[in-house]
Chains A and B, each alone.
Chain A
Amino acid sequence: MLTKLWLIPLLPFIGFVLNGLFGKRLGKAFVTGVALVSTFGAAVVGTMAAFQYHAQYPEGERYVQTVFNWFTSGSIHADVAFQLDPLSIVMLMVVTWIGALIHLYSVGYMAHEDGYWRYFAYLNLFLSEMLVLILGANYLVMFVGWEGVGLCSYLLIGFYYKTDYAPAAGKKAFVVNRIGDFGFLIAVFLMFAYLGTADFGLVSHRAAAGVDAWLLTAICLLLFLGACGKSAQIPLYVWLPDAMAGPTPVSALIHAATMVTAGVYMIARSNALYRLAPDAMMVVAIVGSVTALFAATIGIRQWDIKKVLAYSTVSQLGFMFIGVGVGAFTAGVFHLVTHAFFKACLFLGSGSVIHAMSGEQDIRKMGGLRSKIPITYWTFLIATIAIAGFPPFAGFFSKDEILGSALSSPYLPAGVRYLVWGLGSVAALCTAYYMFRLVFLTFFGDFRGTHEQEHHLHESPATMTIPLIVLATLSTIGGFALAWHHTLAKWLEPIYPKIEGRESEFAIANEVPLMIVATIIAAIGTWLAYVRFYKRGLAADESFAQSSPAIARGMENKWYVDELYEAIIVRPLEKISLFFWKFIDAIIDGLAAMLGYIVQGFGDLMRFFQTGNVRNYALMLFLGVIVFMWVIS
């Protein structure tokens, strides 16, 4: 299978083609079969390839397979090539297996929806593009996948196209992502212009061989702009909360577990460049930490169950960027993996809650669901403990490693290290607080919905609960297993090319005290949520609004960032475009009309020569010859 890497993205692509072309006609059973076979097939093939790779390259060398030469132009050479190395294998396992589980979950969740075939066609296409993104051996192939997943994200956010908000949310996601993609593209152009290649290995190699610092900083910052778009960081995070308009499994797969982590993957993949550009790393770390806290505060006062999780995702992505920004790339990827476990579990759990509540998403109308949907409750609780960061659940290990690395990073000045650690720790406190608020409001207390809803409450079918149980199990033991004996760190070691004085692994000082501090922080957050929401329920939210109305309103309205963008970007743009349309366009139209008259005149002139008379034609021939002879002699 190792020699057939292209098969991995091809399988879901075939699924996309079959479902897209024939799904509507051949019915649900066909669609389900194609979707599941192609995704589980990709997962199995990917796993086999990973094992073969490990057997053949125990040292973790980069295995590149060129499918064909895409184009060669002058010194620029681009191949369609796939690669396997420890990092892409980590991503491959996460994407294929979680992707396959969520396909399984979707079979139950989407069973009663119109456009079942369309949903699975898009979802299969997404998986295919995501695999292209993580298996690509150069930045160009990566960009193909990068754009492809963006397209699928757009299509799936707008899946309920008959509503008002879903297509608008899709459009917003697409437009905001374009800003990031612009950065990515310019970075790739800079690589071609100054390094002459976009191949991962060669770029690292040539960068390490000595390039101007400004160039590396520019490339890294532009790549990070791309990452900000795809991975929803300040200032481009605004699309992700709106993206919750899509079906819930899509939120779990694309907007939590896989696509949004592409930016983190990309930076980890570019670690050789970043390690040579500490300034860029500082930007990444600071943006990550500010995003982590900022989004967490918004999450505290949302009532839509999916919105809370969306802001939580933005916040957790911030943590990952702290990791890669302080130089602890392994820690960043580690958190990416554990986050995929528990956040997918949380989203699928919320989907199960929404399913049980007949489509209701407002937690103010829930409450007391613990006994009604026990499997959902327990898995949701486990994932919450994991994200809050209690040992020995998955989130604890990765988050602790990120914050510990932030304090001892050799790349950042001391002040920045403490700032990043401080922001991250407060964000961790908020995380525990808003997540347990969500649990207490949803699963404890009295039921606050309608009788109709109460009557319909039911646990979800097995296709939905099995993925929940698997993910909850991973959320429990996944972190410990990967941290045990530094398994993940050792596995990823080969992806960091040796650069003199730029360590990829550094010792974390005061590891045990930091762990204790982290646990205490999580405990305080949980305790606060317990005191306020377990005992008082929704009343706690109201008393908060009364005691500090300004802050409450700010959080509720997402700190007015959408309004700010509207005022400083969207509206001025509209005015400028109006100016161009009404004024500049009129001038250009006038000029164009004038050109038309000139051409018309020219045409008339031509018609004068085009008499249709052979003698005139022959005369013109001779005149032409004579003029040229006269010119040359």
Chain B
Amino acid sequence: MSLNDLIFLLPEIILATGASLLLIAPVTGLRDSISAKWAMIALLIITAGSLLACSWAVPGMEQTAGFARMFALDAFSIFFKLLFLFVVAIVVLLSDDFLRESRYSTWEYYSLLGFALCGMMFMASGVHLATIYIGLELLSLSSYILAGYYKNEQKSTEAAMKYFVLGAVSSAILLYGISLIYGVCGTLNLLDIARALSTVVSNDALMFGVILLACGLCFKIAAAPFHVWTPDVYEGAPTPITAFLSTGSKAAAFAIFVRIFYVALPGFHLDWSMVLATVAALSMIVGNLAAITQESVKRLLAYSSIAHAGYVLMGIVAMNVMGLRGVLVYSFVYVFANLGIWSIVLMMKRHEYAGEKVSDFEGLHSRSPFWAFSMFVFLLSLGGIPPTAGFIGKYFLFYAAVQAGFGWLAIIAVLMSAVSMFYYLRIVVAMYLRDGKEADVTASGALKFVAAVCVVATIVFGVVPNDLIDQVSSSAKGLHNKGAVTRNATR
């Protein structure tokens, strides 16, 4: 360990320290939720600042990895870390009203959110299966508690319990996969695994390892048939936490999914691509079809997020430049559309379970035309309709699948996107064409701010996507070059 290694970790160190301080702050007598919020926001800003400073201070990041090559600060990880920081910042703003109304400790809540973020940042930077796993567990354990934060609500505790039990099972599966891979390769470093595998012929132990690893990760991104927990947990968890789980936590799982498969396992692409393609197709079909019959908005969005996991998996299945960029672009634009929707859902009503039913949206247009329009934009983006940002993401992923010879998968994806428009438009129909007295918006400034930011971003990135695409291309470059090098070595 050298000083350089510490610089690599500076943002995470600051964040972890800060989160610990948040946890013990109430001891000093600070109890009110407002100072907790500002303390959390300050922590996020300092972390982001230190991250940018570090990335600037460590040049040529593609080659560098600290702590015995377990932790990399490359463009790929910085892209995701900034995205995570953004997500958590938004979640803090979304949580404001919820925390003020409930009597649960605000400081603990933010502290857990901070630790979850810390885990996500480790996941983004991990180039070693151990680092990745520890990051994942840090995220998951914090998430379990946050999902059950309505301690007195049966639904919430039930969600947390289910999430914890099934999460533990999936972690076990994941660990078993990792151990099998270690057995074959004798290393957990992703690049070393790729190097070791270049001399190995396909064998059952290795394949079992890869499949177990993939299944464990599929649980984390909520892909079918490992998705069963999702609707129950998304429904039961406090809405801001649902927003967090469906955006930040998911994006983090995609980050490690991409890194593991692009860096360590490109040589066995033919073996695992069919399995993941099946998972992708299943997720799209199950998610979209099941969403149609849902009455609860939270369950509907849970199923829709299962479908979206299927779309993103196409980018991993494709295993080409387009696919890699597609995963990044999609994670990015999906965050805005999704957080925007959750902010509108939170605006709708402000008791414990907000915006429960599709019918709650009836007549929103006549009462708050701008927020109805924003909701419309977010739904269009999720459906992938231009000129919203969602279209750009889908365009990359579908194109990648076609390029890689998975035309059938792209066809399923397009058909299922059409199906998805059906249930997205159900909400639009409720907002614009139905009369209702229920839909009242009692928006706080923070929620309005979030929704406005998201709607602007969703439109801007849809109309002028070039800056985003350039950014993503340079962020993905390092990762893909490594992949390409390894693949050449395999041949």
Chosen A-B contacts, 8 in total, with CB atoms closer than 8 Å, are: A72-B466, A606-B293, A609-B228, A617-B228, A618-B165, A621-B169, A632-B275, A633-B207
Asked if B271 is at the interface (CB within 8 A of a chain A CB), the reply is yes
Which residues of chain B have C-beta atoms less than 8 A from A569's C-beta? none
A621, B290: Cβ atoms closer than 8 Å: no
Which residues of chain A have C-beta atoms less than 8 A from B215's C-beta? 621, 624-625, 628
Bound complex: CA A63 to CA B286 (Å): 56
A600, B211: Cβ atoms closer than 8 Å: no
A603, B289: Cβ atoms closer than 8 Å: yes
Which residues of chain B have C-beta atoms less than 8 A from A624's C-beta? 215, 225-226
Bound complex: CA A620 to CA B229 (Å): 10
Asked if A599 is at the interface (CB within 8 A of a chain B CB), the reply is yes
A599, B207: Cβ atoms closer than 8 Å: no
A72-B466, A614-B165, A624-B225 known; A599 vs B211 contact (CB < 8 Å)? no
Q: Which of the listed residues A610, A620, A622, A625 has the most CB atoms from chain B within 10 Å of its own CB? A: A625
A610-B228, A614-B166 known; A625 vs B289 contact (CB < 8 Å)? no
Asked if B101 is at the interface (CB within 8 A of a chain A CB), the reply is no
Bound complex: CA A194 to CA B50 (Å): 51
Q: Which of B173, B204, B290 contacts A602 (CB 8 A)?
A: B290
Asked if B402 is at the interface (CB within 8 A of a chain A CB), the reply is no
Q: Which of A606, A609, A620, A633 contacts B289 (CB 8 A)?
A: A606
Interface residues of B (CB under 8 A from A): 161-162, 165-166, 169-170, 173, 204, 207-208, 211-212, 214-215, 219, 225-226, 228-229, 231-232, 271-272, 275, 278, 286, 289-290, 292-293, 464-466
B290, A617: Cβ atoms closer than 8 Å: no
Digitize A66-81: 1 where CB-to-B-CB distance is under 8 Å, 0 elsewhere. 0011111000000000
- A contact face: mostly helix, strand, loop, or mixed: helix
B208, A629: Cβ atoms closer than 8 Å: yes
The A196-218 residues at the B interface (CB cut-off 8 A) are none
Q: Which of the listed residues B219, B271, B272, B292 has the most CB atoms from chain A within 10 Å of its own CB? A: B292
Q: Which 4 A-B pairs have the closest CB atoms?
A: A603-B293, A624-B225, A606-B290, A617-B228
Asked if A58 is at the interface (CB within 8 A of a chain B CB), the reply is no
Bound complex: CA A70 to CA B463 (Å): 9
A603, B166: Cβ atoms closer than 8 Å: no
A617, B166: Cβ atoms closer than 8 Å: yes
B275, A620: Cβ atoms closer than 8 Å: no
A147, chain B: closest CB distance, angstroms:
15
B309, chain A: closest CB distance, angstroms:
14
Look across to chain A and name the residue whose beta carbon is closest to the beta carbon of B212.
Answer: A625
Asked if A631 is at the interface (CB within 8 A of a chain B CB), the reply is yes
Look across to chain A and name the residue whose beta carbon is closest to the beta carbon of B272.
Answer: A632
Q: Which of A70, A71, A72, A600 contacts B293 (CB 8 A)?
A: A600
A628, B275: Cβ atoms closer than 8 Å: yes
Bound complex: CA A632 to CA B226 (Å): 18
A602-B289, A617-B166, A632-B275 known; A610 vs B212 contact (CB < 8 Å)? no
Look across to chain A and name the residue whose beta carbon is closest to the beta carbon of B170.
Answer: A621
Look across to chain A and name the residue whose beta carbon is closest to the beta carbon of B469.
Answer: A72
Which residues of chain B have C-beta atoms less than 8 A from A633's C-beta? 204, 207-208
Look across to chain B and name the residue whose beta carbon is closest to the beta carbon of A618.
Answer: B169
A625, B275: Cβ atoms closer than 8 Å: no
Which residues of chain B have C-beta atoms less than 8 A from A631's C-beta? 275
Given A620-B228, A632-B272, 4 additional A-B pairs, CB 8 A: A606-B290, A616-B228, A618-B169, A632-B271
A600-B293, A603-B289, A624-B225 known; A618 vs B275 contact (CB < 8 Å)? no
Which residues of chain B have C-beta atoms less than 8 A from A513's C-beta? none
Which residues of chain B have C-beta atoms less than 8 A from A622's C-beta? 169
Bound complex: CA A457 to CA B211 (Å): 93
A621, B212: Cβ atoms closer than 8 Å: no
Which residues of chain A have C-beta atoms less than 8 A from B289's C-beta? 599, 602-603, 606
Which residues of chain B have C-beta atoms less than 8 A from A415's C-beta? none
Asked if A413 is at the interface (CB within 8 A of a chain B CB), the reply is no
- B contact face: mostly helix, strand, loop, or mixed: helix
Asked if A612 is at the interface (CB within 8 A of a chain B CB), the reply is yes
B207, A620: Cβ atoms closer than 8 Å: no
B161, A614: Cβ atoms closer than 8 Å: yes
Bound complex: CA A267 to CA B290 (Å): 55
B226, A621: Cβ atoms closer than 8 Å: yes
Bound complex: CA A322 to CA B170 (Å): 77
Which residues of chain A have C-beta atoms less than 8 A from B165's C-beta? 614, 618
A72-B466, A620-B228, A632-B275 known; A599 vs B212 contact (CB < 8 Å)? no
Bound complex: CA A351 to CA B136 (Å): 77
The A43-85 residues at the B interface (CB cut-off 8 A) are 68-72
A69, B211: Cβ atoms closer than 8 Å: no
Bound complex: CA A632 to CA B202 (Å): 11
Q: Which of the listed residues B212, B272, B275, B289 has the most CB atoms from chain A within 10 Å of its own CB? A: B289
Which residues of chain A have C-beta atoms less than 8 A from B162's C-beta? 614, 617
Which residues of chain A have C-beta atoms less than 8 A from B228's C-beta? 609-610, 616-617, 620-621
Which residues of chain A have C-beta atoms less than 8 A from B231's C-beta? 610
A80, chain B: closest CB distance, angstroms:
10
Q: Which of A69, A610, A612 contacts B466 (CB 8 A)?
A: A69
A482, chain B: closest CB distance, angstroms:
42
Bound complex: CA A612 to CA B159 (Å): 10
Which residues of chain B have C-beta atoms less than 8 A from A69's C-beta? 466
Q: Which of the listed residues A618, A622, A623 has the most CB atoms from chain B within 10 Å of its own CB? A: A618
A603, B290: Cβ atoms closer than 8 Å: yes
Bound complex: CA A632 to CA B290 (Å): 28
A603-B293, A617-B162, A632-B271 known; A625 vs B229 contact (CB < 8 Å)? no
A606-B289, A610-B228 known; A632 vs B207 contact (CB < 8 Å)? yes
Which residues of chain A have C-beta atoms less than 8 A from B466's C-beta? 69, 71-72
Which residues of chain A have C-beta atoms less than 8 A from B214's C-beta? 628
Which residues of chain B have C-beta atoms less than 8 A from A603's C-beta? 289-290, 292-293
Look across to chain A and name the residue whose beta carbon is closest to the beta carbon of B286.
Answer: A606
Digitize A425-439: 1 where CB-to-B-CB distance is under 8 Å, 0 elsewhere. 000000000000000
Which residues of chain A have C-beta atoms less than 8 A from B211's C-beta? 625, 628-629, 632
Look across to chain B and name the residue whose beta carbon is closest to the beta carbon of A633.
Answer: B204
Look across to chain A and name the residue whose beta carbon is closest to the beta carbon of B224.
Answer: A624
Look across to chain A and name the residue whose beta carbon is closest to the beta carbon of B173.
Answer: A625
Digitize A406-446: 1 where CB-to-B-CB distance is under 8 Å, 0 elsewhere. 00000000000000000000000000000000000000000
B166, A621: Cβ atoms closer than 8 Å: yes
B249, chain A: closest CB distance, angstroms:
18
A618, chain B: closest CB distance, angstroms:
5
Which residues of chain B have C-beta atoms less than 8 A from A606's C-beta? 286, 289-290, 293
Bound complex: CA A602 to CA B204 (Å): 35
Look across to chain B and name the residue whose beta carbon is closest to the beta carbon of A606.
Answer: B290
Q: Which of A602, A612, A628 contacts B232 (CB 8 A)?
A: A612
Which residues of chain B have C-beta atoms less than 8 A from A616's C-beta? 228
A471, chain B: closest CB distance, angstroms:
41
Which residues of chain B have C-beta atoms less than 8 A from A602's C-beta? 289-290
A617, B293: Cβ atoms closer than 8 Å: no
A614-B161, A625-B212, A632-B271 known; A620 vs B292 contact (CB < 8 Å)? no
Bound complex: CA A623 to CA B286 (Å): 17
Bound complex: CA A89 to CA B433 (Å): 50
The A225-281 residues at the B interface (CB cut-off 8 A) are none
Look across to chain B and name the residue whose beta carbon is closest to the beta carbon of A630.
Answer: B211
Q: Which of the listed residues A71, A617, A622 has the most CB atoms from chain B within 10 Å of its own CB? A: A617
A78, chain B: closest CB distance, angstroms:
11
B225, chain A: closest CB distance, angstroms:
4
Which residues of chain A have C-beta atoms less than 8 A from B207's C-beta? 629, 632-633
The A22-55 residues at the B interface (CB cut-off 8 A) are none
Q: Which of A609, A621, A628 contacts B219 (CB 8 A)?
A: A621
Which residues of chain B have C-beta atoms less than 8 A from A625's C-beta? 173, 211-212, 215
Which residues of chain B have C-beta atoms less than 8 A from A599's C-beta? 289, 292-293
